[in-house]
Structure 1
Amino acid sequence: MASTAAWAPREIKAAEGGGPEELLRRVDALEGGLTDALTREKALVFRGFGITPDTLDPVLDRLLPNRLAYVHGNSPRTKVGGNVYTSTEYPQEYTISMHNEMSYAHAWPARLAFFCQITPGGGGATPVLDAALWLRSLDAQVRDAFADGVRYVQNLHDGYGLGKSWQDTFETSDRGEVETFLKGAGAEWTWRRDGSLRVESLRPATTVHPVTGTEVWFNQADQWHPAGLGDDTAKELAQILSEDELPQSVTFADGSPIPAEYVLQIRDRGLEHAVDVDWRAGDLLLIDNLLLAHGRRPYTGDRRVLVAMSD
């Protein structure tokens, strides 16, 4: 659905013949510097600078000074370089709903960079959404219901099963490293006889941007809830697993169920207010991960978008 929002990402276009070096010069020339510009604009789109996988690293080094590994990430991705990953590997005919990266975790990236390596055959935009607008768009009843936060549950298999393994999730096969991470994250966990790992994490539903003081919707309840998967997928999973056995699920903080109608409102209003960023090979999108949520529109043909993140 087309958005009526006045806000849109700031586009920075290359001069004729400009390359990655010009992009870096343009970044250095931003008023107040990159950090101030990104806080002010929420998102920057760089177009026409001829970025390729071979020239991507120096650009990311400037935009993301401390690239992070995708540890404790729940999305299926492939690592393709120095803390550079494929965007979520989800069937191309489906929409990926709006979310702030790793808002279910105890720590999350402050910035995300998306690089288009292969232009989509059709569709495939990355929608971005003002997370404060998302919060305001929800009915007061829904906002109030989430006041105490949410409880995320992960069932991570030991190499075979639905969803991700704990080894892929934490990028290690050392149980001690996993436990050290989870202890630091304030999570609860249980190792099971079959080698799988169950993790429960209590997190807030909103957060406040450290610079602007803006309160934003900041959780992934709709993506972790069966209702957010669509009726057919939810029914198929229900025939295989109980809700307590799903690879991932979510409840209110006290363990009570989140009504499906709340989940659908959150998902649908997020998509309704989003602004699409269309892709051509070489484009790069930089976003503030607290101020903006993001997703993916369905597409046809090929599409390859890489993502990296930093604190």
Structure 2
Amino acid sequence: MNTRLTWAPAEIGPSDVGARPTAAGLIEYLEGATDLDERLVAEKALVFRGFGVTEDTIAGVMDRLLPNRLAYVHGNSPRTKVGSNIYTSTEYPPEFTISMHNELSYAHSWPSRLLFCCVLADMTGGATPVVDAQLWLESLDDDVREAFAGGVRYTQNLHGGFGLGKSWQDTFETDDREVVDEFLRSTEATWQWHDDGGLRVSQLRPSTTKHPVTGAEVWFNQADQWHYATLGDETAKAMAEVLRAEEMPQSVTFADHRPIPAEYVLQVRDRGLELAVDVDWRLGDVLLIDNLLVGHGRRPFQGSRRVLVGMS
């Protein structure tokens, strides 16, 4: 049997490591742990459960697990910044599934680690599914993998303060165009400022990558999330009536500008969700993942849910 088919995140509780069942106890354990880097690569994802971490104490935990926390610059998901490079998880309506993805895989640089912490869990549903990204790649049909081998081209249309999607100010966390220009020059992107204050950004990215430690080749792109076909029939139809493909807030093609068939991205989306393992949140849980080895998403929910995220 393929062991990846039975993979699940490793769970670590206070009794497993001889720590107090508090956030301070978790911090003390992390300060003395010397094998966490190796264990994260081996396990791909770790769940710290039973330590009662809160919104007031998560920064101390992140300081130990996410050295050099990153700002969510050039991110395309709606989030709220709540602390020093601490954000809410993607703020999509609760009735929707967020499909599997590796954070910022469409960008020139991406975080190697993500940390999630559940600080409100008064809900039904709302699990964070995680998927082995190597298994995800292997699950795709040969013709789909071959079609994506040349990479993908992402395009963003960011408005200047009013319009569909995100503004460039929110995306780059600045109101200064020169700061944006400087950032984009370092990313091998092409971009154009429009007379209406908007910004169009295009970048070519590979569809897979190799983990620097294990050498495993993994699926590592967000073509399915950027493709109109995953908006749903009615939403896609409504947007197509008012916008050309190149005017969408975000869109994706193959590297040579050929359209990606809808059935390809739907296969990618569905296979990832089918193979995913759900992390069912308990209040105070912390989930740490290797962002190359593991994709993540969100199940729909009813009620109140608040999950914070940091990146490193």
Give the aligned partner of residue 62 of structure 1.
64
Question: 1:20-31, aligned counterparts within 5 Å?
Answer: 20-28=23-31, 30=33
- Measure how far apart 1:24 and its partner are: 2.7
Partner of 2:113 in structure 1?
111
Residue of structure 2 aligned with 1:82, choices 84, 97, 104 = 84
Structure 1 pair 20/181, CA: closer, same or farther in 2 (3 Å)?
Answer: same
Q: Which consecutive unaligned segments of at least 5 residues does structure 1 have? A: none
CA-atom RMSD in angstroms: 1.3
Residues in 1 aligned to 2:264 and 2:67: alpha-carbon distance in whole angstroms: 38
Residue in structure 2 matched with residue 251 of structure 1 by the alignment: 253
| 1:277-297, Cα deviation, whole Å (9 max, x unpaired) | 011111110000000000000
The one-letter code matched in structure 1 to 2:151 is: G
Identical aligned pairs, as a percentage? 67
- 1:120–1:256 CA distance, 2 compared to 1 (3 A): farther
8 Å Cα contact 1:158-1:196 kept in structure 2: yes
Contact 1:86–1:305 at 8 Å: present in 2 too? yes
Among 301, 305, 308, the alignment partner of 1:306 is: 308
Partner of 1:276: 278
Give the whole-Å Cα distance in 1 for the aligned partners of 2:67 and 2:20.
27
Aligned length: 306
TM-score, scaled relative to structure 2: 0.96
Name the TM-score, length of structure 1 as normaliser: 0.96
Task: Note the C-alpha offset of 1:163.
Answer: 0.3
1:26 deviates by 3.6
Partner of 1:46: 48
Shift of 1:114: 0.3
User: Does the 8 Å CA contact 1:119/1:302 hold for their aligned counterparts?
Assistant: yes
TM alignment of 1:83-98, pairs within 5 A:
83-98=85-100
Q: Shift of the alpha carbon at 1:22?
A: 2.1
Equivalent position amino acid for 2:55 in 1: P
Structure 2: gaps of 5 or more residues: none
Counterpart in 1 of 2:181?
179
The structure 1 segments of at least 4 consecutive aligned residues displaced by more than 6 Å after TM superposition are none
Provide the secondary structure at the position in 1 that maps to 2:239. helix
Contact 2:31–2:64 under 8 Å retained in 1: no
Structure 1's 65 and 17: CA in aligned 2 closer, same or farther, altered over 3 A? closer
In the TM superposition, residue 211 of structure 1 has moved relative to its aligned partner by: 0.4
Map 1:107-146; keep pairs closer than 5 Å: 107-146=109-148
